Structure 1
């Protein structure tokens, strides 16, 4: 039996136990608002808790675990059935690991977060400087004489919001170790040490950079040097909403004006009002969707903290049942944003189209025999993975959780032809958090690379400047 907010609350344990691991990724009924309001569903088998300052352990492989999603792992990894195939390229995309929240409760946080167990390093270096820099790190504190301590519902904390937690760093080390076991030792596509055959990238957010440091150390534990982690300038970055695009907000407004969206707000009106009054979260930023509530609750539970209570009445706390409904509503919203809304193609193009185009370009280079890399790894955010999963046509999309990952494996085969030289054919497998992804095109366990490129190409805008309306 799993713990509270593990495989569902105890009262729903029998139901949760009847779900297969893969079922927890693709909830039945997520297209309907009755999924949100049906308390019997609990977390639909999902896990939403993890210990503070420790590695995430204990969840069966394949279960939707919001705190640390599954990833390719040697114990469960299955080779393709085509025995003579050889892997020639790996495109790996992942969300950062566990972190503190973005959104503090406006009415005040009744539990201060402690990040004294992890050091967030900040320094610059140059061979031309003549000396190595002092390895300084951020040590967050609050002066007790700061007048805003009493004037605002401020939480005295040693954390930044957001930042990687020690638990997230430890999960990152393990994530990297497991990737090396599969794609390094077993398949040989990740080289034994970094080389010019490797492409590493992150957003400009320290959160993704911190996560990269942990995962890459897990992959290359003996590497002594530094590594370039490529980033684009924040004003034109093709991930993390980095480039200007008026259409993003316009399309989102249209999505949130649909009858379906309003229905989900109507059925959750009492829940949002109750939580808003309890946590001082009555602004539109908290009430127009479940993004902020989910973020706050997830960050707490995934780092060993309890659900929040009122800052002024510590006996008035968020219940497990309320949190479960928030999480179900968050999943419904992600399915609607990236799979069901009438504006889904335009929204994916506006938010993720340029980065999807970069992925397509790298895959096309493999198909054309011109790809210089064998392994590309990008560290990004949930709002980057959502459009990509939508472009693949994932059957059902729950919120892409901490450490969520997509592995696009490219395999090379040869076809014999009478009186001709053998022909090289490239196939792709797309794994989502370790499993072949289930999509409207079928399970993408073995698909010709050209077909996969065609699926994604639809979401690459022909003219992003015109689409975004920034001229």
Structure 2
């Protein structure tokens, strides 16, 4: 342990199978999984699942190949910050020695023109189904007070760079900034935290946040695409995938025995749910789950789950055969939106200087994969607050795009590429007639 923070260094079991032209490899990821603050004895850009490294004035690197260039436009996509677990064990209450408390900040939700009501979550001790949720004042998947504070700090760091670089006014303006989120409440709340971080005066003001209808929202994404689902089913039915499930059967048996998840398909097909329930606890200062017999999930088993999660996310969205085709179908609509944004800017018709999106881990992994970041290095599970910034710089009469991932410029042609080439790159990730491609036979 370093400064009270887990600094995971471990080896994952051999994961056999094909992955972008090679067999499965041993992974030894490092990272922080139980604090929003990265210890000072680690590099500032260390992978921190609880609070990803992001653009900040102390470490921002201006373009070095065009020192006279001027920043003129931004599209930025981030993942929401810390929340409660989004998945529940069959007997969730039994496995929580520490109640979840969300009473430390008010959850406002009201109609314009109505009273400024806020809601409180209560788990009544008399409720017949109380075993299925924890004691406390939080709902599943709810932004925690720590997540809100991380959002505010994220906004401060973002503004510390781009307020100057992009020439914003001294305060946040609806004329300069467009914000879109998913339909999940936590993404609205993160947007509100970012805004207050950028401009403390926003705490007493309103600001529009755009969403798409939930059945066709492209951010999670949630629009129907059975042909994408079929591709994913196929590449999760081969040894490249199934071997890692078999190799970790003992781990799965231990977790099932402790958590009561045996026989549940959602907990058997991949380690997503285990990853979520462990990391949400550790990031919010909760212990790993223990059942009524005293059996607990060990730190070693949690570490192994985190490593397996990295493998699974990289495999599904980056390394599997047909992973690109899968992501193009189920994330092509969002890539189309980005392409339209940059084309609008190119034509001089985008009224905004910044388009800011708040999404989820699925948003970030798909975007990183389709931009080609997985060709630089294997992708990891996108951390809370994960950030991807697409800057447009003007140098003379030419415009260039620079992509910054988790606070650092990417080390590929996306470090400095002509705007036209970047738009073409985005459009190549959008299947022709994408609705028919998703739904057609």
Does TM-score exceed 0.5, indicating one fold?
Answer: yes
- Give 1:428 deviation, angstroms: 0.9
Contact 2:232 2:323 in 1 (8 A): no
- Give 1:33 deviation, angstroms: 4.7
User: Which of 402, 411, 431 matches 2:393?
Assistant: 411
Structure 2 counterpart SS, 1:208:
helix
- Structure-2 change in CA distance of 1:117 and 1:470 (3 Å): farther
In structure 2, the partner of 1:363 is 342
In structure 1, the partner of 2:237 is 257
In structure 2, the partner of 1:447 is 417
- Give 1:434 deviation, angstroms: 0.6
Stretches of structure 2 that go unaligned for 5 or more consecutive residues are: 12-19
In structure 1, the partner of 2:31 is 46
Q: Does residue 1:125 correspond to 2:112, yes or no?
A: yes
- Structure-2 change in CA distance of 1:153 and 1:380 (3 Å): closer
User: Which of 194, 200, 225 matches 2:179?
Assistant: 200
User: Which of 82, 89, 92 matches 2:76?
Assistant: 92
Contact 2:71 2:391 in 1 (8 A): yes
TM-score by length of 1: 0.84
Give distance in 2, aligned partners of 1:276 and 1:216: 42
Alignment map for 1:132-151 (pairs within 5 Å): 133-149=114-130
- Structure-2 change in CA distance of 1:470 and 1:202 (3 Å): farther
Q: Give per-residue Cα distances to partners, 1:248-274, cap 9 Å, x unaligned.
A: 322221121122001111211111121
TM-score by length of 2: 0.90
Give distance in 1, aligned partners of 2:403 and 2:349: 21
Contact 1:85 1:411 in 2 (8 A): yes
In structure 2, the partner of 1:236 is 216
In structure 1, the partner of 2:285 is 304
Give distance in 1, aligned partners of 2:124 and 2:34: 32
Give distance in 2, aligned partners of 1:101 and 1:470: 36
- Give 1:202 deviation, angstroms: 0.5
Structure 2 counterpart SS, 1:8:
strand
Greater shift, 193-202 or 398-407, is seen at 193-202
Q: Give per-residue Cα distances to partners, 1:408-456, cap 9 Å, x unaligned.
A: 0000111xxxxxxxxx211111001111124xxx253211122222322
User: Which of 23, 26, 40 matches 1:35?
Assistant: 26
Q: Give per-residue Cα distances to partners, 1:269-290, cap 9 Å, x unaligned.
A: 1111211121011211011101
Contact 1:382 1:401 in 2 (8 A): yes
Give distance in 1, aligned partners of 2:394 and 2:165: 17
Contact 1:141 1:158 in 2 (8 A): yes
Contact 2:172 2:195 in 1 (8 A): no
- Structure-2 change in CA distance of 1:339 and 1:88 (3 Å): same
- Give 1:313 deviation, angstroms: 1.3
In structure 2, the partner of 1:18 is none
- Give 1:298 deviation, angstroms: 0.6
Stretches of structure 1 that go unaligned for 5 or more consecutive residues are: 16-28, 127-132, 415-423
Q: Give per-residue Cα distances to partners, 1:220-267, cap 9 Å, x unaligned.
A: 212342111001111221221232222232222112112200111121
Structure 2 counterpart SS, 1:389:
helix
In structure 1, the partner of 2:150 is 171
Give distance in 1, aligned partners of 2:286 and 2:184: 24
Alignment map for 1:56-135 (pairs within 5 Å): 56=37, 58=39, 60-81=43-64, 82-108=66-92, 109-111=95-97, 112-126=99-113, 133-135=114-116
CA RMSD of aligned residues (A): 2.2
Structure 1 counterpart SS, 2:300:
helix
In structure 1, the partner of 2:354 is 375
- Give 1:156 deviation, angstroms: 1.9
User: Which of 386, 403, 409 matches 1:430?
Assistant: 403
Greater shift, 81-90 or 443-452, is seen at 443-452
Structure 1 counterpart SS, 2:430:
coil
Q: Give per-residue Cα distances to partners, 1:109-140, cap 9 Å, x unaligned.
A: 233322221221111113xxxxxx33222211
